[in-house]
Chains A and B, each alone.
Chain A
Amino acid sequence: MAYGFGGKILRVDLTHERIEIEKLDDAFYRRYIGGMGFVAYHLLREVKPGTDPLGPDNRLYFFTGVLTGIPVPGTGRNSIGAKSPLTGGFGESEVGGFFGVELKRTGYDGIIIEGKASHPVYLVVHDDTCEIRGAEPMWGKSTKESREMILEELGDDKVKLAQIGVAGENQVRIASIICDLRYAAGRGGMGAVMGSKNLKAVAVRGTKKPAIARPDKVMELARWMADNSKALVPSYHDIGTGSGVIGMSQSGGLPTRNFRSGSFEGVESLSPYTMRGNILKKMDGCFACPVKCKRVVEVESPYRVDPAYGGAEYETIASFGSNCGISDLRAIAKAHELCNAHSLDTISTGVAVSFAMECYENGILTKEDTGGLDLRFGNAEAMLALVDMIARREGLGAILAEGTARAAQRIGKGSERFAIHSKGQEIPMHEPRWKRGLGIGYAVSPTGGEHCSNVHDPMYEKDTPDMESVRVLGIIDTIPIDDLGPRKVRLFTYLLLYRYLQNSLVVCQFVPWRPDQISDLVSATTGWNTSVWELLKVGERSANMARLFNLREGFTAQDDRLPERFFEPEEAGGLGGLDRGRFEDALELHYAMMGWDMNGVPTRGKLYELGLEWALD
């Protein structure tokens, strides 16, 4: 008997309306473990080079991991992957909530969508049964409206949904997939892939709890986290991920006005204390999690914000707030609601808006281009209007819907220098001129600008719980924030492997499990006699498969780049720019530590070591 996984996945061909069950053997699970690992493996195996990301030959993957759905904090996540229409490379995004748990309980560990339906459809998986149903009445509706229609049609309010709104339907390249209104697989344009397949939603309902090899040990670990999470991450629990905005602004690390500055004069208005005292309705969370870092907000005026969509995370607060020069939490809450209703990524959308604002203030865009919007930094009404235009591909929104990099190419006139992206994906709300190691991660990330599988340097400057966590990996001494030398590269490289393991399992980074505890959890759940060593190799396999996929698509070391802006100082006496020579040295050293050659290509030795010889070509 298999523990921790069902051993089978669904393959749904929408073109031919064919549904098949595929079985995966135990060794496959132990080698790739789920989530990102499964996505990377399948992308390499079955999506041919040059495939149109928005064509029927692309795949859309929904995968859980071996820990998904066990009654332990941090396991309520799943991964969604595809070839990204935003970058043209490896695309993968993880999402919290309850969808992954419900999917796992159907008995299937994942769903592969291929082809394209001839008309709008949604997929229903209820335990062993799977059905493709018409979604014409739901097409064009918001996520909330279509969710209500689907739940009513199925007559079951326990169904969990992954769905798109109009941005996904319109194949906006920064469209997200929204799970149960409040949880977003935001990055890489996964929603556009879903829309390209005419797939409005995936509905799952399962009644089979995953089998656990040693339930007593799993429960012991769950109790430990329940007892300690409040002390380990108190502010996530009480005020959420926006806890850092004040300190970041004071450090010069809060992206402000399209990354021109790192300090925002209106930051107090974005503080979690301001949110708590004004618009916060309650804290909320994911499956089996005591941390409850999610927020639910409610606003009556000047905008009505529906609490059904939850509330803004830190990334959203900064991307629509300081980075657009906006200090009104109510407007940010409205932008968040629009993004979840339309299925837009809040990071990429916010950066697309701030890019357009900088173009406008520099005369590259005029009111003629913006449809009359006075698109200066700080104009909340204009920001909200533009978000809606992006989702609907209207006017300037149609250009920005292609993502910031493509928009800059289209607009020209020197706007390229305002496009803050890596590999075509917009940079998240963390400043690499402050967190210097983070810049390496932005540059080498296979999905483009990405902050989760990355090093957040301040956490390793002092004896924090994060520092204690990496000591398990052999990183013993603390390292200064501005260090970009070999010690920082080693920290980043080890952390990357651990983050990719987390993305493969698929577990949350905000639940502060140490690597040794994760190893204990995997052992207790699956019955495998595993170790931190073996599991880091799973993360390393994921990193190398994603890298190989991008190389096959034509990416080179030249694509491991940061926007020029980060090599220049911040405005108004802020932080200095990155040193290009030190940055290039750090990248080269990272390649070497990964077992990649000078061009960033995994060596034969590395692929054989990881058991990826099948990928040698």
Chain B
Amino acid sequence: MRVWVRTFGDIYLPQAPNGLDHSLDIPPGSTLGDLLGILMIPPESVGIMSVNGARANESRLLHEGDRVDISSPIGGG
């Protein structure tokens, strides 16, 4: 199934053309935690995650077409 991922803050996706956002196919039944593993994002580097705009944790089951936002801890601006 295909999901869309955007990252914010200090999280970099080497797989993405611009390093920040892309879509990818993951096995059905994958959780947000599984997605972090596929993207090689260490859980300790994550501050906040959401699925379709709602906060979520690693156990959240993902579905086809989900939009996932992954942010590192947020500092100043």
Interface of B is mostly: loop
A313 touches B47 (CB 8 A): no
B47 proximity list for chain A (CB < 8 A): 247, 458, 461-462
A250 and B55 contact, CB distance less than 8 A: yes
Q: Judge whether A589 is part of the interface by a CB distance below 8 angstroms.
A: no
Taking the complex as formed, is A241 at the interface, i.e. its CB lies under 8 A from any CB of chain B? yes
Q: CB-CB < 8 A to B69: which residues of A?
A: 246-247, 250
Name the one of B19, B76, B77 contacting A238, with C-beta atoms under 8 angstroms. Answer: B19
B76 touches A430 (CB 8 A): yes
Chain B interface size, under 10 / 10 to 19 / 20 to 34 / 35 or more: 20 to 34
> Are B77 and A313 within 8 A (Cβ)?
yes
Flag whether A463 is at the interface (Cβ < 8 A). Answer: yes
Q: In the complex, how many angstroms separate the beta carbon of B11 from the nearest chain A beta carbon?
A: 7
**Is B7 part of the contact surface with A, judged by Cβ < 8 Å?**
yes
- A462 to B6, alpha carbons, bound, how many Å? 21
Q: Is the beta-carbon distance between A456 and B76 smaller than 8 angstroms?
A: yes
Residues of chain B within 8 A of A130, CB atoms compared: none
In the complex, per-residue mask of A432-462: 1 if CB is within 8 Å of any chain B CB, else 0: 0000000000000000000110101011011
Check A239 against B77 for contact (C-beta < 8 Å): no
Interface pair A462/B45, CB less than 8 Å apart: yes
Cβ contacts B42-77/A at 8 Å (1 or 0 each): 001111101001110000000000000101111111
| Distance in angstroms between the alpha carbons of A51 and B11 in the assembled complex | 49
B77 neighbours in A (Cβ, 8 Å):
241-244, 313-315, 318, 429-430, 451
Residue in B18, B19, B54, B74 whose beta carbon sits within 8 Å of that of A247 in the complex: B74
Whether, in the assembled complex, A137 has its beta carbon less than 8 Å from a beta carbon of chain B, the answer is no
> With A238-B20, A251-B48, A462-B47 as given contacts, are A244 and B71 in contact (CB-CB < 8 Å)?
yes
Q: How far is the CA of A93 from the CA of B56 in the complex (A)?
A: 39
Contact partner of A235 among B20, B48, B50, CB < 8 A?
B20
Residues of A within 8 A of B53 (CB): 250, 268
CB of B52 to closest CB in A, whole Å: 11
Task: Decide: A464 and B72 in contact? CB cutoff 8 A.
Answer: yes
CA distance A1 to B32 in the complex (A): 60
Chain A residues with Cβ below 8 Å from B45 are 462-464
Chain A at the B interface: SS class: helix
In the bound complex, do residue A238 and residue B75 qualify as a contact, i.e. CB atoms below 8 Å apart? no
Contact string against B for A residues 258-273, beta-carbon threshold 8 Å, 1 for contact and 0 otherwise? 0000000000100011
Closest B residue to A238 using CB positions: B20
Q: Nearest chain-B residue to A434 (Cβ)? A: B74
What's the Cα separation between A260 and B14 when bound, in Å? 39
Closest A residue to B7 by beta carbon equals A235
Q: How far is the CB of A247 from chain B (nearest CB, A)?
A: 4
- Stretch of A164-172, A226-234, A332-340, A348-356 contacting B (4+ beta carbons < 8 Å): A226-234
Return the chain B residue nearest A237 by Cβ. B19
- Residue pair A243, B48 in contact (C-beta under 8 Å): no
Interface centre among A232, A241, A251, A253 (most CB of B within 10 A): A251
The residue that A456 contacts in the complex, of B8, B10, B19, B74, with Cβ under 8 A, is: B74
* Bound Cα distance A187, B7 (Å): 31
The reply to whether A235 and B55 contact each other, CB–CB distance below 8 Å, is no
Q: Which of chain A's residues have a CB closer than 8 A to the CB of B28? A: none
Give Cα distance in the complex from A605 to B25, angstroms: 64
User: How many whole Å from B6's CB to the nearest CB in chain A?
Assistant: 6
Which residue of the partner chain A has the closest CB to B46?
Answer: A462
Say whether B74 contacts A464, CB under 8 Å: no
A462 near B19 with CB under 8 A, answer no
A235 contacts B8, C-beta separation under 8 Å:
yes
Q: Is the CB of A246 within 8 A of B76?
A: no
The answer to whether A456 touches B75 (Cβ under 8 A) is yes
Interface members, chain A 350-398 (any B CB < 8 Å): none
Given contacts A273-B21, A462-B44, A463-B44, contact A234 B10 (CB under 8 A): yes
Given the interface contacts A234-B12, A430-B76, does A246 sit within 8 Å of B71 by beta carbon?
A: yes
Q: In this assembly, does B29 line the interface, its C-beta being within 8 Å of a C-beta of chain A?
A: no
CA distance A250 to B67 in the complex (A): 14
Report the minimum CB–CB distance from A94 to chain B (whole Å): 13
For B12, the closest partner residue in chain A by CB is A234
| Cα distance A84–B25 in the bound complex, in angstroms | 56
Q: Which among B11, B20, B48 is the interface contact of A250 at CB below 8 angstroms?
A: B48
Could you mark each residue 540-555 of chain A with 1 if its beta carbon is under 8 Å from any beta carbon of chain B, else 0? 0000000000000000
Residues of B close to A233: CB separation below 8 A: 10
Q: Is A466 an interface residue (CB 8 A)?
A: yes
B27 contacts partner chain A, Cβ-Cβ < 8 Å: no
- Assess whether B9 is interfacial by the CB under 8 Å rule: yes
In the assembly, what is the distance between CA of A592 and CA of B66, in Å?
Answer: 51
Query: Could you tell me if B10 and A235 are in contact, using CB atoms closer than 8 angstroms?
Result: yes
In contact, B73 and A235 (Cβ under 8 angstroms): no
9 A-B pairs with the lowest CB-CB distances in the bound complex, closest first: A314-B77, A247-B71, A458-B73, A456-B75, A244-B74, A247-B48, A241-B77, A234-B12, A459-B75
Instruction: List 11 A-B residue pairs with CB atoms under 8 Å apart, sorted by A's residue number.
Output: A231-B12, A241-B77, A244-B75, A246-B8, A246-B69, A247-B9, A273-B6, A462-B44, A462-B46, A463-B45, A464-B73
